Structure 1
Amino acid sequence: MQTSKDSQNQTPPVDTEHKADTENSHFQTNLVGTSLTIDSLIDAQVDFMQQWLRKQSEPLAIEAWQWFGEQPLNKYIRREHLQHLVNDWLLNQPISEAMRTDIRDILHTVIYHPVNDNVPLSELVDDTQVETLANYVGSHDEQRNVLIHTLIGNETFADLLTQTLYHAINDFMETTLDKAGGVGKLMKLGRSSFEKATNRNLDEKLQAYLHRNIRDLARRAETNAQEHLSNEEVARLLVTGWARIKDQPVSHLQTYLRDEPDNSSIDHIEASIQQSYNRLRMSPYLHSLVAASIDTWYDNHQADTIASIAASLYIDEQAMTQFSTVLLPIIYDALESPWFTAHIRDMLQAFYNQPNIKESLVLNNE
Structure 2
Amino acid sequence: MQTSKDSQNLDTPALTIDSLVDAQVAFMQQWLRQQAEPLSIEAWQWFAAQPLNKYVSADDLQHLINDWLLNQPMTDVIRKDIRDILHTIIYHPVNDNVPLSELVDDTQVQTLANYVGSHEQQRNILIHTLVGNETFADLLTQTLYHAINDFMETTLDKAGAAGKLMKFGRSSFEKATNRNLDEKLQTYLHRNIKDLARRAEANAQEHLSNDEVARLLVSGWARIKDQPISQLQNYLSDEPGNSSIEHIEASIQQSYNRLRMSPYLHSLVSASIDTWYANHQGDSMATVAASLYIDDQAMTQLSTALLPVVHDAIESEWFTAHIREMLQAFYAQPAIKEGLMFNNK
Normalising to structure 1: TM-score of the pair?
0.85
Amino acid across the alignment from 1:169: I
Looking at structure 2, the residues matched to 181 and 108 of structure 1 have their Cα atoms a distance apart, in angstroms, of 55
Looking at structure 2, the residues matched to 164 and 111 of structure 1 have their Cα atoms a distance apart, in angstroms, of 31
Aligned match for 2:291, one of 312, 315, 337: 312
Q: 1:208 maps to which residue?
A: 187
Looking at structure 1, the residues matched to 210 and 243 of structure 2 have their Cα atoms a distance apart, in angstroms, of 41
Q: Deviations over 1:176-201 (max 9, x none)?
A: 55666776666555444433332222
Contact 2:16–2:343 (CA under 8 A) maintained in structure 1? no
- Secondary structure of the residue aligned to 1:125 is coil
Amino acid across the alignment from 2:214: A
Aligned match for 1:114, one of 93, 96, 99: 93
Q: 2:247 maps to which residue?
A: 268
Deviates more, 1:221-230 or 1:191-200: 191-200
Q: Deviations over 1:188-231 (max 9, x none)?
A: 55444433332222332222122111111111111111111111
The size of the alignment, in residue pairs, is 331
The change in CA–CA distance for 1:356 and 1:186 in structure 2 (over 3 A counts) is closer
Looking at structure 2, the residues matched to 185 and 40 of structure 1 have their Cα atoms a distance apart, in angstroms, of 113
Between the two proteins, what is the percent identity of the paired residues?
A: 82
Q: Deviations over 1:142-181 (max 9, x none)?
A: 1111111111111111112222233333444455556667
Q: 2:277 maps to which residue?
A: 298
Q: 2:196 maps to which residue?
A: 217
Matched, 1:42 2:21: yes
Name structure 1 gaps, 5 residues minimum.
1-34
Name structure 2 gaps, 5 residues minimum.
1-13
Q: 2:224 maps to which residue?
A: 245
Looking at structure 2, the residues matched to 78 and 127 of structure 1 have their Cα atoms a distance apart, in angstroms, of 45
Looking at structure 2, the residues matched to 95 and 363 of structure 1 have their Cα atoms a distance apart, in angstroms, of 59
Matched, 1:66 2:55: no
Contact 2:15–2:342 (CA under 8 A) maintained in structure 1? no
Deviates more, 1:246-255 or 1:261-270: 261-270
Amino acid across the alignment from 1:194: F
Bigger CA radius of gyration: 1
RMSD: 2.2
Looking at structure 1, the residues matched to 158 and 318 of structure 2 have their Cα atoms a distance apart, in angstroms, of 96
What is the CA-CA distance between 1:286 and the residue it aligns to? 1.3
Matched, 1:149 2:128: yes
Amino acid across the alignment from 2:130: L
Q: 1:198 maps to which residue?
A: 177
Deviates more, 1:56-65 or 1:264-273: 264-273
Q: Deviations over 1:67-114 (max 9, x none)?
A: 100111110001111111111111111111111111111111111111
